[in-house]
Amino acid sequence: MVRAAANRRPPAGDDRPPAERLLHAAERLFGERSYRRTTVAGICARAGMATGSFYAHFDSKVGIFTAVVRRINSDLRTAMAAAIEEAEPNQRARERAAFRAYFDLASQHPWIHRIVREAEFVAPGLFQEYYERLARGYARGVRAAQLAGEVDAHYDPEVIAYLYAGLGNFIGMRWAEWTAGGRVPDDVLDHLLEVLARGLPPRPDPAPAAAPGTDRHVSSWP
C-alpha cells in the first residue's frame, strides 16, 4: 500500500511551487518509510515531478531531509506562537495554548516525531539545532514570565525550556503517534499543566494503590 501511494501523482491543478511539492512529498515518505527506505526517485514520483528536476531545488536526499526537519520546527514554533497570541495574558493560559497547539499539530502529522528522531543519526547537528531552536523560544517566554512575577526567578529558564521540550515530545509521541488517529486528551494536558504549576510534592497520605490491570495515565516510578 505504501509503494502504491508513493507512485501516485498529485491531483491535477496542484499549483504549489515545485520545492513545496517536493518538501510535502518528502515529509510524508520519510515519515511513512524512514529516511533509509526513501529515495529521491520516490520523492519525485510522489510529487509528480521528473527525477532530474529535484536537483534544481535540493542538492541531495540529506539536503531535503534537512529542509523537512527545519520546516517541522518552524511550523511548530509558528503554531505555538499564534496560539499564545490568542491566549489569556497569564503564564498558565499561555502554557496550555502552546502545548495544545503542539499536540494538535502532532496529531495532524503523526510522523513528525519519527522524522526528528531519525535526524539524530542522519544529521546529528540538525537534531541538536532542532531542540535548541525550540528551547530558545521557550526560554524567552519563561524569562518574560519571570519578569512579570508569574514564574519563580530562582529557576534557570533554559532548564525549564528543556523540560517543556521533553514533556511536549514524549506526551505527543504517546498519544498522537503511538495511538492511531490519536489526540492528546484534555485530561492528560490538565495533568501536565498541574505538574508544571505545582511540581511533585509528597502527598500527606499515601495514594491508594491502583487495581491490577488498571489503565492509568500516570504510573509510579519503576
Lowest mean pLDDT among 45-59, 104-118, 155-169, 188-202: 188-202
Question: How far apart are the C-alpha atoms of 23 and 57, rounded to whole Å?
Answer: 10
Structural domains present in the chain: 2-56 (1.10.10.60), 62-198 (1.10.357.10)
Contact 168, 102 (CB under 8 A): yes
Question: How far apart are the C-alpha atoms of 121 and 64, rounded to whole Å?
Answer: 15
Closest CA to 217 of 187, 178, 196: 187
Strands (DSSP E) along the chain, which ranges?
none
Q: What average pLDDT does range 18-28 have in this prediction?
A: 98
Length of the chain measured in residues: 222
Sorting pLDDT into bands at 50, 70 and 90, what band is 220?
A: very low
pLDDT of 200 reads 72
Question: How far apart are the C-alpha atoms of 118 and 129, rounded to whole Å?
Answer: 14
pLDDT in tens, 146-197: 999 999 999 999 999 999 999 999 999 999 999 877 899 999 999 999 999 9
Q: How far is CA 202 from CA 151, 190, 206, 207, in A?
A: 21, 19, 9, 10
Does the pLDDT value for residue 133 go beyond 80?
yes
Does the pLDDT value for residue 119 go beyond 60?
yes
- Hey, what's the cell of 153? 526567578
Closest CA to 42 of 61, 62, 20, 57: 61
pLDDT of 14 reads 72
Does the pLDDT value for residue 64 go beyond 60?
yes
Q: What average pLDDT does range 53-69 have in this prediction?
A: 98
- Hey, what's the cell of 169? 515530545
Q: What angle do CA 121, 125, 126 make, to 5 degrees?
A: 80
